[in-house]
Every structure is written in structure tokens, then in C-alpha cells.
Amino acid sequence: MAQVASILVLSIVATRGARPQGPVGAGQAIPTAGRRFRNIQVLKEMPADRVFPSMSFFGASLNVDCGFCHVDGPDFDKDDKKNKQVARKMMEMELAINQANFRGQPVVTCHTCHRGSATPVRFPLPSVARQGDDDGVTVRGAALSEAASEIIEKYIDAIGGAAAVGRISTYVEKGSYSNSIFPGSFAFEAFTKAPGQRLEVIHYPRGDSLTGYGHGGGWTKKSSDPADDMSAAATDYFRSLADIEEPARIRRQLSNARVAPRGMIDGRPINVLVGLQPDHPPMTYCFDRQSGLLVRVLRYTQTPFGPNPVQADYSDYRAVGGIKVPFRRTFIQSRSQYTIQLQQVQENVRVDDAKFVKPM
């Protein structure tokens, strides 16, 4: 059920930033940042769809917004601010450290020193009292595996059960899309078909923005521009959105889950599971303790400079074809967010396979 996540690959900050230079030549399937945007200097060879997640990672690491480095308005790509010059030097330093010591992997990141502050702390802080045993992720024996299994099974039962999910072959969703950058909202549509195909469309006044996945690959298309293939990182994320049976397969995603201390979201108690993944940051799942429904997921999307946290909140669950679907989904990266509010969801309607083919 792809509707437990949404269009992260259409970055929530992608509508703002360096100005596009125009369409990329047909011979280049995945455009680089240097070809797609103006005045890119350090990140020229980076896939263009990784630029905005990287910018979001910088903002989250320093707890700043775009205006910390960039001139606002139509001159966004100018170099008028000193912080932008410093940022380029910091990126070069970080890349050099990781290349020389960690085979190019983003081990040393902006967050390593900044820790949510624009000015790194240069000196050790006084020690504080040791946190209690109930703080952090708890890992103690087989009883916790049983507790995690109970939380997962309650969630699957709450949405209608694995058998009900398995009877769904297609979804067609219609609603609205809004973000923290532009005022108002825009019409939104999504088409999902088993096995593993999905198309999302945002209807902007100046043309549609499309994101598709099918036949093992993902692509994006904006207005009259040619379609571009997704980068590997974006494809890896969107692949899960195209899996209709994803909720019923959550056992697999959380096969190494640990139960974390309980918490509260919007005044309601929650159960928290942390999914541990080899060579990847953990994923945190929050379930309403009473209903069992999934209300929040915290995961990371990979950038060349480190993993960028993305929070997804799910609410307004409604019954559709025997299962419960979150009609409202809010996604937060750094200081930006977008919301999808569905008005209609239809299941098992005819969807042509041609809809998921990358436009030529």
C-alpha cells in the first residue's frame, strides 16, 4: 500500500533554490547539478535530484534556512553572501576528509561538528548526569522481540489485515498538495498498480510535475521538459512507494526492530519501534497505542554529504475497500514541509500499464 508514504523524491524544497538552466539534452538520462542549475561550483557532478536533499541536510545540521547562505528572490544563485563562500570551502574540506580517510563515504558530515548550531562548539561542555536506563533505544533479550511483534501485528490488524491488503491490485488517489513555500494548494493524483508501479502528478498552473516508477526504474518530468531518470538514491526510496502490499510486509522491514521508550504525539500515547538496517541509518516507526495505526515514520534519505532526516506524519484514516488508508500525510525536511490531503481513493480500478512508462 503505497499510500503509507508519498512523494519524497519530489523534494519539499525543490520548488525553491538555484534557477533551472532549462531542459537537459536527450543524451543524458540523469542530469548533473552542473547542467541543471546555475552557478553550481562544488557539486557539479552530483545528480541534480540530490542537490535539494543535500541543501536540506546542510540546513538541518546547522539549524538554518536557505537565507543563511542564499540571496532571496530572483537572484538566488548570486554569491553576495559570505556564508555561501564559507559553505563551499566546508563542502570541499568534508569531501577531502572522507575521500582520504573513509573511501569517499560520508562519515564526517556537517553534523559531526555543528550539531544543530551555525557555530560549532570548539571546547568540551561540562559533563551532565548520566541518563536513566529508560532513555534511548532499549535492547534486552527475547521479550522485546515479542513486544515488537505484538505492535506490528496490531498495526496490520488495524489497517484491515494482510489478506485484505493482498486483495488490492490498484489504487487511484485524488486530492490536494500544499507546501510551506508557495501559498495555496494544487491538485494531486496518484496511480499505483501491482506489481511495483506508481505515478504521481501535481497539477501546477504552469504545467504538471510527474514522478513515476515501474519496470525497475524511476523517472521525473516537469511541464514540457524531457523526462529524466532518477538517481539511485531517489529510486531506492520511490521503489517502496510502488509496493501496494508494503504495510503487510512491514514485518520484513522491522525484522531487526527494537522497542524504544513510549512517547506522545499530539497528546496521544504511542509505541515506538526502531528498525535497524545494516549499513543504513535506523528507521523509527510510531504507532498509536490505542488504535495501533501508524502515525509517524522517521527515516533518512541519502545525500553525498550524509543522511538527511525526513519525518512523515499520517492521519485522517478512512476505510477504503476493507482497509484503512491515511488521507492526510505531512512530510518534513529541515525547515520545509508539504502536505497531501486526499479527497478520494479508489481501489481495484483499471489502470493501464502505459501510464507508468517513462515519456520519450
20 prior amide bond cis, ω within 30: no
The model's confidence at residue 29, banded by pLDDT at 50, 70 and 90, is low
pTM recorded for the entire structure:
0.74
> What is the pLDDT, as a whole number, of residue 127?
38
Whole-number Å distance between alpha carbons of 269 and 242 = 30
Q: What is the DSSP string of 224-282?
A: TSPPEEPPHHHHHHHHHHT-TTTGGGHHHHTTTEEEEEEEEETTEEEEEEEEEETTEEE
Cβ atoms of 158 and 293 closer than 8 Å: yes
Percent of the chain whose pLDDT exceeds 70: 84
Span 204-233, average pLDDT: 87
Q: pLDDT at residue 242 above 80?
A: no
Three-state SS at 333: strand
273-323 confidence digits (pLDDT tens)? 988 776 677 889 999 999 999 999 998 877 888 888 888 999 999 999 889
Break the chain into its structural domains and give their ranges: 138-356
Whole-number Å distance between alpha carbons of 141 and 312 = 30
How many Cβ atoms from other residues are within 10 Å of residue 35's Cβ?
16
Q: Which residues, in sequence order, are CB contacts of 86 under 8 Å at separation 6+? A: none
Half-sphere exposure of 214 (CA within 13 A, CB side): 19
Span 130-143, average pLDDT: 37
> What is the pLDDT, as a whole number, of residue 122?
61
> What is the pLDDT, as a whole number, of residue 345?
96
Q: Is the model more confident about 247 or about 319?
A: 319
Q: What residues form DSSP beta bridges with 37?
A: 20
Which class is domain 138-356? mainly beta
Q: pLDDT at residue 17 above 50?
A: no
The model's confidence at residue 63, banded by pLDDT at 50, 70 and 90, is confident
Q: What is the DSSP string of 144-158?
A: HHHHHHHHHHHHHHH
Span 205-234, average pLDDT: 87
| Of 96-110, 197-211, 281-295, the least confident | 96-110
Whole-number Å distance between alpha carbons of 186 and 70 = 27
Q: Which residues, in sequence order, are CB contacts of 132 under 8 Å at separation 6+? A: none
